[in-house]
Amino acid sequence: MTLAKKLLDFHSPGNRFSYYPLTSKWEEVKKTAPSLPSPSTEGFGIYIHIPFCREICTYCGCNIKISNQKEEHLQYVKALSMEKKLRWDKINPPSDLLNITFGGGTPNFLNPKAKELLLEELGPLIGAQTSSGQMEVDPRYFTREDAQWAFALKINRFNFGVQDFNSEILSNVNRRQSLDHLHRAKEALLPQQIMGMDLLWGLPKQDERSMKNWYSHLKTLAPDWISFYPLAKVPWLESIQNAYGDFTLPDRERKYELYQWGVEIFESLGYRNQGMGHFVKKNGPLDQTLYRKVSGLFPQKTPYLMGLGVSAITEGPDFMAQNYKILDRYLFSLLKKNELPLFKFHKKSQKEKQMNQLVEDIFSHHTIPELLKQRVPEEWREPNSNDISNLGLHFKKNIMQIGEKTIFEA
């Protein structure tokens, strides 16, 4: 039976478990925002959300704002620095900053003056323990200046939003991107910086031919890792999607075939499947234990991640919190009221913490805890072992779902 057919048999939508539980389970903050617990001495990471983009891609599910207005970018950085101050002053005793992550939107699209101010704000926080930060990048606008700016913040990993290599498939979703953009963006990286690529399966017009053409592009561009995401529905964009192009989606059978063709290419080019859509180059700079957090993959454990910016999530071992998702509301809290822009907060229960541990066992260590062993199909495990088999790596989400049932039924 083909991989596509097996995936179809076990099709099960739902949580992708990059954090747990989902924000829909968190409590809304009423009136006064609680002060958030500080990181422990184990150190912490910072995630900064930059929402701005030049144009909308009609598949995009991220929290974005189309704006190239310098003043708007500067105002946002001012709010970020106020938020950082409110949070930073509470860190006592000071704990090591392990890494900085920029997500978006398009961090490299931030106005140059705003980037400069942000660097002035963040530069002094960088210490001896800071390393291996990451940044989401739109390859159409990535320059050597951006790479140098990021280098000053010890950012060494860049996820290029590639999505597909076919310019017709891309322009149909309002993304005008050529192979030249990708090559130029790669050349802009400094020698010590490494490149990942976000690719999507399930875009309108993707087919066997277009997918099989990925082979030569991936061989030439040779990213160090690949994030291969299933296209998620974006209900608030449905009314405009067909106005920009033909947004007819492939059916479920075809979607899993697209996934299978992608995986065959990655494996033939020497990528190791980490599960949940992540593939790393064997013996490359990321071929090591990776920890999955809400804002990406980390080579360090980073038990506390401080989220700054609109919609950003903060996660500590015992709690989770999210900032306002509406930009004006976020700005109002900081610039007019000088208070934390907290929208939701959640204290984790013991069982939810058990779920966090399960993510680590399954995603980072590729093992199935004893508790689940009997409930997981045998072919997803190596014989006589708790290690997840090569086939099982494609079913980590299903294994997590079995884990969720097991933990909450107990």
Interface mask (CB under 6 A) for ligand SF4, residues 96-125, using x and -? --------xxx-------------------
* CA 352 from centroid of its chain's CA atoms: 21
**Where does this chain touch ligand SAM (CB under 6 A) — which range of 56-64, 125-133, 212-220, 278-286?**
56-64
Would you state the structure tokens that stand for residue 306, as one six-digit string?
């401080």
Residues 6+ apart with CB under 8 A from 260: 2, 3, 4, 7
**Where does this chain touch ligand SAM (CB under 6 A) — which range of 231-239, 308-316, 322-330, 369-377?**
231-239
Q: Is 206 in the site for ligand SAM (CB under 6 A)?
A: no
Instruction: Provide the minimum distance between the beta carbon of 140 and ligand SF4 in the complex, in angstroms, as a whole number.
Output: 8
- Using the rule CB under 6 A, which residue among 22, 152, 190, 234 binds ligand SAM? 234
Q: Is 226 in the site for ligand SAM (CB under 6 A)?
A: no
Pure H helices in 207-306: 208-212, 214-221, 238-244, 252-268
d(CA 38, CA 15): 28
Report which residue type is found at 107. Answer: P
* 200 contact, one of ligand SF4, ligand SAM, none, CB 5-8 Å limit per kind: ligand SAM
**CA end-to-end span of the chain:** 34
Q: Is 62 in the site for ligand SAM (CB under 6 A)?
A: yes
Instruction: Provide the minimum distance between the beta carbon of 59 and ligand SF4 in the complex, in angstroms, as a whole number.
Output: 7
d(CA 49, CA 52): 9
Interface mask (CB under 6 A) for ligand SF4, residues 129-168, using x and -? ---------x----------------------x-------
Q: Which is nearer to ligand SF4, 56 or 74 (CB)?
A: 56
- Using the rule CB under 6 A, which residue among 66, 152, 232, 391 binds ligand SAM? 232
* 198 contact, one of ligand SAM, ligand SF4, none, CB 5-8 Å limit per kind: ligand SAM
Instruction: Provide the minimum distance between the beta carbon of 372 and ligand SF4 in the complex, in angstroms, as a whole number.
Output: 35
Residue 136's SS3 state is strand
Q: Which is nearer to ligand SAM, 295 or 398 (CB)?
A: 295
Q: Is 247 in the site for ligand SAM (CB under 6 A)?
A: no
d(CA 299, CA 297): 7
DSSP one-letter code for 391: T
Number of residues that bind ligand SF4 (CB under 6 A): 11
Q: Is 170 in the site for ligand SAM (CB under 6 A)?
A: no
What Å distances lie between residue 61 and 40, 137, 211, CA to CA?
33, 16, 22
* Residue, CB closest to ligand SAM: 161
Q: Are 258 and 250 in contact (CB under 8 A)?
A: yes
Q: Which is nearer to ligand SF4, 55 or 116 (CB)?
A: 55
Q: Which is nearer to ligand SAM, 22 or 232 (CB)?
A: 232
Residue 96's SS3 state is coil
Buried-exposed string 226-265: b where 16+ CB fall within 10 A, e elsewhere:
bbbbebeeeeebeeebeebbebeebeeebbbbbbbbbbeb
DSSP one-letter code for 30: P
Across 105-206, where does the E strand assignment appear?
133-137, 155-163, 194-201
* 234 contact, one of ligand SF4, ligand SAM, none, CB 5-8 Å limit per kind: ligand SAM
d(CA 48, CA 52): 12
Instruction: Provide the minimum distance between the beta carbon of 38 and ligand SF4 in the complex, in angstroms, as a whole number.
Output: 31
Q: Which is nearer to ligand SAM, 138 or 404 (CB)?
A: 138
Q: Is 136 in the site for ligand SAM (CB under 6 A)?
A: yes
Would you state the structure tokens that stand for residue 234, as one six-digit string?
């974006």
Would you state the structure tokens that stand for residue 280, as one six-digit string?
């790393």
Would you state the structure tokens that stand for residue 275, as one six-digit string?
């599960």
d(CA 284, CA 375): 34
Which residues of this chain interact with ligand SAM, rule CB under 6 A?
A: 53, 59-62, 103-106, 136-138, 161, 163, 198, 200, 229, 231-232, 234
Which residues of this chain interact with ligand SF4, rule CB under 6 A?
A: 53, 56-57, 60, 62, 64, 104-106, 138, 161
